Structure 1
Amino acid sequence: MNRTIVILLHIVCQVFGDVWLSRGMRNIGAVNVIDLGSFIAIAIQFLTSPWIWLGIAFLITSLILYLVALSRFDLSYVLPITAFTYVLSTALAIFILREHVSAPRLFGTCIITAGAFVVGWDEQKQSR
């Protein structure tokens, strides 16, 4: 697998894992770990939620792809490029989770995207 495919797959799996976990937690509700009875009830809900399991599966896949990327490429390249997860997370939060994203949050996401683009562009320039 080439660099772009490995990192893009990692990003997609990371973001979808987070989205599915968020959806699962919204179905479960607020967690109170102080009360043992509530904790056991919530643990049962965790274990029976298909959204939680789907999120875990995506995040495990993401971790494996991240380890593959780290075994092949410099951390100083991989980590900034994975900042694209913020962009995709924001988009999916809006379209799948129906979250309202404020203008400052959206602006911050654009700044992160610009930084990741600069890192990727610099790496492309150096590899020629």
Structure 2
Amino acid sequence: MTVAIGYILISVLAGAIGQITLKYGMTQTGQITLSLHDIVPTLWKIGTNPYVIGGLTLYVCGTVFWLAALSRVDLSYAYPFASLSYVIMLTASWLLFNENITPLRLAGTLIVMLGVFLISRSG
């Protein structure tokens, strides 16, 4: 079980860091439109950004660890741990992107953390 929890946590961390990296890459890329007229230049602009590539790579790595975890534990046990990414994202958004964290967002995140704790105790 301990190895599986390690795999789960690595997967969650890789996914969260991947999101942060994608966000940083998209702030460099700028706002995009999804019109058919601009699709090729838009995809090129996104696909050649090293932070976007890095973020997607982290997702793939996280998926490998997630699959390893799922081979060892029940999905109903593993999946709630994915919500830890909310905690990471809330903190990173505030620290790295100066996003506003409202009291309700903070309270919701604390409730998520409590839920993960309770599920982790259920074995």
TM-score, structure 1 length as denominator? 0.88
Aligned letter for 1:61? Answer: C
- Contact 2:24/2:51 (8 A) holds in 1: yes
CA distance in 1: counterparts of 2:89 and 2:12, whole angstroms? 10
- State the partner residue of 2:121: 121
Whether the aligned pair in 1 keeps the contact of 2:12 and 2:81 (CA below 8 Å) is no
Following the alignment from structure 2 to structure 1, what is the Cα–Cα distance between the partners of residues 39 and 100?
Answer: 30
RMSD (CA atoms): 1.4
Identity %: 25
Q: How much does 1:34 deviate?
A: 1.6
| Deviations, residues 26-77 of structure 1 (Å, cap 9, x unaligned) | 22122211241x3222211112101101101100001111111111110011
1:10/1:66 contact within 8 Å kept: yes
CA distance in 2, matches of 1:100, 1:56: 26
Conserved? CA contact 2:5–2:69, under 8 Å:
no
Q: Distance in 1 between matches of 2:74 and 2:32?
A: 38
Give the residue type in structure 2 aligned to 1:55. G
Q: Which position in structure 2 is the counterpart of 1:7?
A: 8
Q: 2:23 aligns to what?
A: 22
1:101 aligned counterpart, secondary structure: coil
Partner of 1:112: 112
Look up the match of 1:97: 97
Question: 1: CA distance between counterparts of 2:32 and 2:17?
Answer: 22
Q: Give the gaps of 5 or more residues in structure 1.
A: 124-128
Equivalences, count: 122
Report the equivalent of 2:69: 69
- Amino acid aligned to 2:117: F
The answer on whether the counterparts of 2:9 and 2:81 sit within 8 Å (CA) in structure 1 is no
Q: What TM-score, normalized to structure 2?
A: 0.91
Q: Is this contact kept in 2: 1:18–1:55, CA < 8 A?
A: yes
Distance apart, 1:4 and its partner CA: 2.4
Unaligned runs of 5+ in 2: none
State the AA in 1 paired with 2:34: V
Tell me which residue corresponds to 2:33.
Answer: 32
- Equivalent-residue separation in structure 1 for 2:122 and 2:97 (angstroms): 34
**What whole-Å deviation, never above 9, does each CA across 1:83-123 have from its counterpart, x for those lacking one?**
11111111111112222222111111111111111100122
